A and B are shown apart, each in its own frame.
Chain A
Amino acid sequence: MSELKQIFDTINLGLVIMDRELQVRHWNRWMARCSKIAPEEILGRRIFDFFPMLEHHLSFQRNCKSVLAFGSYAFFSQKLHHYLFPFPPANSFEVKFEQMQQSCTMGPLRDESRAITGLFLTVEDMTENAANEQRLIEMNSQDALTGVYNRRYLETRIREEFGRHRRYSRRLTLIMFDIDHFKMVNDNHGHPCGDFILQSVAGAVAARIRVTDCLARYGGEEFSCLLQETDLASGMLLAERFRRQVEEMEHNYRGTKVRITISLGVSELRDDDTLEQFVKRADEAMYRAKTGGRNRVCPEPERFELPFNSQLIAAEGPLAGERPFHS
């Protein structure tokens, strides 16, 4: 047995050699083990006979053609494609993925006259890396208590959306809100009850937003919600819905019934904004909602400062009949 053949069959990597018609010429033990297809079954047959899904796999088709036409190297990243061959994950305890996550590469094989006679394919099991990466991403972007995004992730998203606003003039609105008198909840009912309320408020608001929106715990009892393709008026409407929903909730923590309210501020991104100004205006609007009596929604000030009261009336519009802002 040649040295190369020994490596071919013991390496911890799937190795396949195919001719120009994509008929399998070599199929190593790793591939046989994962696919449960023995070399003698597949040798001389087209890869599509055993893996018909590859016939419609855009990248697989394109990469094969590009390797055979240009003699170039090609690859399939696990992050984009997840896998090429539908194999079960090798470790059964890793239930995050239904299929083994794979990183694959491809390259040309030439004969003595340098003509491309076929191609090789390597398959690497990336399931464990992908699972670790997913865990890291979750830990890095989620708030552990409430399960909504954390502040770090929100700030990244604001930065990205900010760029998109600049390039395509997309509208972007931010709601900031804070649970009223949260300290009293903690003092009167204990921190576990406070945590429970944070979770149920976050859950209730999260259920009301689109997947493209981003709800995050900004810190303590303060939350932010970033709304794509949304103007100030629509942001105000949504904020009012949050407010009403939370007001109507009764939190039942181990027999203790607690009701709470939230105060909200809304800002819309302006063309000449900096990131900080955009966030600061929502924060200031929320502060005005607090000082104005809590359990209410305040918009950012209009560009040309109006007296405090007339601003609220002007921006409140459709909600005027539903809720007295100046009670």
Chain B
Amino acid sequence: MESELQLIGTEEKDILQEIMNIAFGNAAAELAQVINIFVVLSVPYIRVLMARELPEYIKSEVTGCDSVSIVEQDFWGDFQGNALLVFQSGAGRELAFMLNGDDGIFEPGVTDRFESEILMEVGNILIGACVGKLAELLGDVIQYSPPKVLIENHANDALPQNFFDASCSAIILKTMFRFNDKDIGGFLFLVASHESIGWLKGALAKFMAQYDE
């Protein structure tokens, strides 16, 4: 992997990490409070990469499963980019309980056939909460594209290279998530687009200014 690009300084990175930590904590708390979804989000981690390195990075980070499904959602505001949720294959079936409730609203067999639909619904909720709370702290309002399943049950070591514009550099924000009472988890990567990095630096400065006064 190439050496980290100097898109943001060390201090900025620390602040962003701190903001993410608060934002994702808020997201988890509100998911539990508002819609009874209990999710544990790990302390986030930040890296700056060239976009073409992303498949390789995901492969190196997502260990312990042979094949994965990836849900992608674009978001745009002043802060813009893509959110990628990486689940291990078969997670959709296990996650059906979250959407299904105790009464089992889905007819039998549906959750097997439409695993990708479940991944999109769960992914949409998780991405919406995390990105929404992050944007809120940075003073931004975000809109989202509908989620799509980018990759379904694909070998982890053979992810397509054409995720993004290869020449693009990106800030990657990574967290691991796990649904409390089930042993199902995955990774959330937020890829901040190159265009929004200038705005992001400004927003980080503004965030810090609150404390400097």
Contact = CB atoms under 8 A, between A and B. Distances in A.
Given A62-B35, A73-B128, A73-B146, A110 B141 contact: yes
Most B Cβ at <10 Å: residue of A62, A105, A114: A62
Contact of B112 (A59, A160, A167): A160
A69 interface: yes
Interface string A64-91: 0110011111110101100000000000
A59 B120 CA distance: 13
A77 B118 CA distance: 9
A163 B90 contact: yes
A77 B143 CA distance: 19
Nearest to A167: B90
Contact of B143 (A69, A73, A114): A73
A114 B132 CA distance: 13
Contacts, number: 74
B99 A71 contact: no
Contact of A72 (B108, B114, B118, B128): B128
Contacts of B105: 58-59
Interface string A195-229: 00000000000000001000000000000000000
Nearest to B141: A114
A65 B121 contact: no
B121 A58 contact: no
Contacts of A66: 34-35, 125, 128-129
Interface in B90-139: 90, 99-101, 103, 105-106, 108, 110, 112-114, 117-118, 120-121, 124-125, 127-129, 131-133
Nearest to A163: B90
Nearest to A137: B113
A72 B106 contact: no
Contacts of B34: 65-66, 69
A57 to B, nearest CB: 8
Nearest to A72: B128
Interface in A78-130: 79-80, 105, 107, 110, 114
A73 B114 contact: no
Contacts of A80: 99, 106, 110, 114, 117-118, 121
Interface in B61-111: 90, 99-101, 103, 105-106, 108, 110
Interface of A: 58-59, 62, 65-66, 69-75, 77, 79-80, 105, 107, 110, 114, 160, 163, 167, 211
23 contacts: A59-B99, A66-B35, A66-B128, A66-B129, A69-B30, A69-B34, A70-B132, A72-B128, A72-B129, A72-B132, A73-B128, A73-B144, A74-B128, A75-B120, A75-B124, A75-B146, A77-B114, A77-B120, A79-B110, A105-B146, A107-B144, A110-B141, A114-B141
Given A66-B35, A73-B145, 10 more contacts: A62-B125, A65-B35, A70-B128, A70-B132, A71-B142, A73-B124, A74-B125, A74-B128, A75-B146, A79-B110
